[in-house]
Amino acid sequence: MLNRVRSAVAHLVSSGGASSPRPKSPDLPNATSVPPATPEEPKSPSARRGIGSGAPAKTVEARASFSRPTFLQLSPGGLRRADDHAGRLVQSPPDTGRRLPWSTGYAEVINAGKSRHNEDQACCEVVYVEGRRSIAGAPKEPSRGQGLCFYYWGLFDGHAGGGAAEMASRLLHRHIREQLRDLVEILQDPSPPPLCLPSTPGTPGSCDPSLLVGPQSCWSSQKDVTHESLIIGAIENAFQLMDEQMARERRGHQVEGGCCALVVVYLLGKVYVANAGDSRAIIVRNGEIIPMSREFTPETERQRLQLLGFLKPELLGGEFTHLEFPRRVQPKELGQRILYRDQNMTGWAYKKIELEDLRFPLVCGEGKKARVMATIGVTRGLGDHNLKVCSSTLPIKPFLSCFPEVRVYDLTQYEHCPDDVLVLGTDGLWDVTNDYEVAATVDRVLSTYEPNDSSRYTALAQALVLGSRGIPRDRGWRLPNNKLGSGDDISVFVIPLGGPGSYS
């Protein structure tokens, strides 16, 4: 056990273990693929967030195809240039092509060599939802009422391979659409949502109010449920269904690795930002910064992880302790009183060290080096169903949540100008650029363009990517202050909140 832990700490993340890549399916509408053209493999493995044991990563990568979002409209030569770690050219949709909805800006760049290909994926769609209704005594059928449209943006930051990110970019918005189908008529009705959907009277699922509330019932009244909360629930369920589909198809379709997911849905005047992972979104409105997400890492979710380890110690496999210590406890410190904290604590206290405390902590490290079970640095996302502790068969998936946190912004409550934007970025952006620097770039770039110039948002996305990537120097990619630029994949959406269109 100690040897395995030492190996895990030494590497932090394993460089092997992704399953074989999923072959390209004929129903992949949002991916353009070309066989890898890079003759020489980068020396640095793709192991930022950790992968499980199994086949070496380079064996898997050698058979993988390289895919980018179709809205980039990359030719085979463009795909090869986008796959170049040395040049790291910024990619954006061409000016001559059909613009993204809402004049959205997008830019991306490949990593500096930590993985063979760009493992980020992106999706931008306008999705029509056709409602369905249930008629007493008859199966569900399409509704004759008018459907709904929602705008959708998604960033998917893959790790241990690009399969999960590619799959999520193709399918997650379809799961959201399916979840919204039952709600089309409800969302178009201003009255409160019904407690139950209509069904055949007298059958299980029918609602008899006399059975739900009695004179002695503690339910004095029905809870208020808003249309907004129904949409949030639909998005949350869609994430779970996407994760379950990955679990089912990880063997047959070779869905390797996992991914963080940052999704934006615009529906009925409101923007819903759903985040599972360490990508982030902020609104910059009249110079004000409004966070629309937060990172989910071993540090930010320490207490949730520790509580699960406390309630289900079998998940720790006798190899880990749910307690946290300021540093690794040494055998010579048995019987001494040392600082610790458990799942209930935000502060620190002292406890007498026992033999079980010599196990490796469930959560270890700080900042970007924080890990769950010394393996993975994010605690929410999709996929990772094959992820194991380094040099062990202990699964990590039980500690990872696929459920996003959803925040809502009501566009109808504010008068927005063309310089008000929602910025989405994978962690490659935020690792080296803070919120205030992003806001300053927004002001600097947009002020040089006319308000009705739709290319301004693409220019802003490119500036944000370039500002985090830096320029090549003798010692790697550097920022103007000579600090290291981001060596990670960087993907950015810029969504204008002031137009086009009406938000009423």
Residues 36 and 270 sit within 8 Å (Cβ to Cβ): no
Per-residue CA distances from 33 to 65, 70, 160, 169, 242 (Å): 6, 9, 19, 14, 22
Residue entry with tokens 């196990």: 359
Domain shared by 183 and 328, yes or no: no
Cα separation of the two ends of the chain: 61
User: Which residues constitute the domain of residue 317?
Assistant: 302-377
Between CA 432 and CA 481 the distance in angstroms is 11
Residue where a domain terminates, one of 377, 394, 428: 377
The pLDDT tens digits of the residues spanning 327-381 come to: 999 999 999 999 999 999 999 999 999 999 999 999 999 988 999 999 999 999 9
The pLDDT tens digits of the residues spanning 43-59 come to: 333 333 444 333 333 33
Paired strand residues for 401: 380
Of 167-171, 493-497, 499-503, which range is least confident? 499-503
pLDDT of residue 377: 94
pLDDT band at 210 (very low <50, low <70, confident <90, very high): low
CA 438 to chain centre: 20
Residues 401 and 240 sit within 8 Å (Cβ to Cβ): no
Domain shared by 281 and 306, yes or no: no
pLDDT of residue 208: 56
Interhelix angle 435-446/456-469, rounded to 10 degrees, is 140
Between CA 74 and CA 80 the distance in angstroms is 9
The pLDDT tens digits of the residues spanning 470-491 come to: 999 877 899 998 899 999 999 9
Residues 330, 396, 241, CA angle at the centre, nearest 5°? 155
Residues 205, 207, 211, CA angle at the centre, nearest 5°? 110
Residue 342 lies in a domain: yes
Between CA 155 and CA 426 the distance in angstroms is 7
Q: Is the pLDDT of residue 415 over 60?
A: yes
Residue 25 lies in a domain: no
Q: Is the pLDDT of residue 11 over 50?
A: no
Q: Which of 5-14, 59-68, 293-302, 470-479 has the highest mean pLDDT?
A: 293-302
Give the residue with greater pLDDT, 14 vs 108. 108
Residue 230 lies in a domain: yes
Give the residue with greater pLDDT, 101 vs 64. 101
Domain shared by 234 and 289, yes or no: yes
- Which among 462, 460, 486, 431 has a CA at the least distance from the CA of 89? 462
SS (H, E, C) 352-418: ECCHHHHCEECEECCHHHCEECCCECCCECEECCCCECCCCCCECHHHCECCCEEEEEEHHHCCCCC
Amino acid type, 18: A
Residues 370 and 360 sit within 8 Å (Cβ to Cβ): no
| Average per-residue pLDDT for the chain | 83
Residue where a domain terminates, one of 377, 398, 432: 377
Residue 64 lies in a domain: no
Domain shared by 364 and 472, yes or no: no
As for how many domains the chain has, the answer is: 2
Residue 382 lies in a domain: no
Residues 123 and 173 sit within 8 Å (Cβ to Cβ): yes
Residues 205 and 245 sit within 8 Å (Cβ to Cβ): no
Residue 216 lies in a domain: no
pLDDT band at 98 (very low <50, low <70, confident <90, very high): confident
Give the residue with greater pLDDT, 386 vs 39. 386
Per-residue CA distances from 438 to 142, 170, 470 (Å): 45, 29, 14
pLDDT of residue 57: 36
pLDDT of residue 32: 36
pLDDT band at 69 (very low <50, low <70, confident <90, very high): very high
Q: Is the dihedral of CA 352, 356, 359, 364 positive or negative?
A: negative
Domain shared by 121 and 168, yes or no: yes
Domain shared by 312 and 282, yes or no: no
Between CA 119 and CA 108 the distance in angstroms is 11
Domain shared by 308 and 286, yes or no: no
Q: Is the pLDDT of residue 41 over 50?
A: no
Residue 88 has which token pair? 């790291």
Query: What mean pLDDT is predicted for residues 432-440?
Result: 97
Between CA 173 and CA 52 the distance in angstroms is 28
Between CA 487 and CA 114 the distance in angstroms is 8
Domain shared by 285 and 314, yes or no: no
Domain shared by 249 and 364, yes or no: no
Q: Is the pTM of this model over 0.85?
A: no
- Classify residue 138 by its DSSP letter: S
Residue 106: Cβ-neighbour burial (10 angstroms; 0-12, 13-18, 19+): buried
What CATH number did the domain enclosing 265 receive?
3.60.40.10
Domain shared by 175 and 323, yes or no: no
Who contacts 496 (Cβ-Cβ below 8 Å, separation ≥6)? 102, 103, 104, 418, 420, 421, 457
Residue entry with tokens 């895990």: 8
Residue 240 lies in a domain: yes
* Kind plus residue range of the DSSP H or E element containing 123: strand 120-129
* Kind plus residue range of the DSSP H or E element containing 456: helix 456-469
Domain shared by 351 and 254, yes or no: no
Domain shared by 368 and 410, yes or no: no
Other beta carbons within 10 angstroms of residue 62's beta carbon come to 12
Of 193-197, 303-307, 484-488, which range is least confident? 193-197
Residue where a domain terminates, one of 340, 362, 377: 377
Paired strand residues for 126: 151
pLDDT of residue 439: 97
Residue 33 lies in a domain: no
